[in-house]
Amino acid sequence: MNRNKTMTLIGKGESWKATYVVTHQDKVNAKCTVFQDTLGGKLKLQYLGKEPLEHGQINYRLEDMSGRFQDGEIVVGIDHAVIKETKGALDLECLFNMMNPNKDLTIKIEWNGHREEFQLGLPRKISFGKAVRKRKE
């Protein structure tokens, strides 16, 4: 049996938009009574700039409030630039801690001589769907 919890942090700068999805997964194996508790994060970068990105290298660094970070690079035209796994250095458990008031991440992106830095945070409005109301007749 798998149980997943997901938290999405989003942010936008002048030339980039970033989405970071943290997934907390509990795996329960009833046959062996094994419990696995794993946290993983996926970063999605979207280029919004006016000049086309046809070549070059994109370097990014995603940092949490405790100073832990995950960084990487994407080679335009070679790497799949949509989603990069970012496991390891970030304090993902801290992001899932509901008592932690500050869940913001900072992303720094460098590409073709340009730099951009902005915050990723929880969406301002969190919706749980619309309740169906009965009409009075």
What is the 3-state composition of the chain as percent helix, strand, coil, each rounded to the nearest 5?
5, 50, 45
pTM for this one?
A: 0.71
Tens-place pLDDT, residues 43-91: 888 889 888 887 788 899 988 887 888 888 888 766 554 445 544 467 6
User: CA 16, 81, 8, 120 torsion: positive or negative?
Assistant: negative
- CATH number, domain of 101, equals 2.60.40
Number of structural domains in the chain? 1
Flag whether 136 is in a domain.
Answer: no
In this structure, is residue 131 part of a structural domain? Answer: no
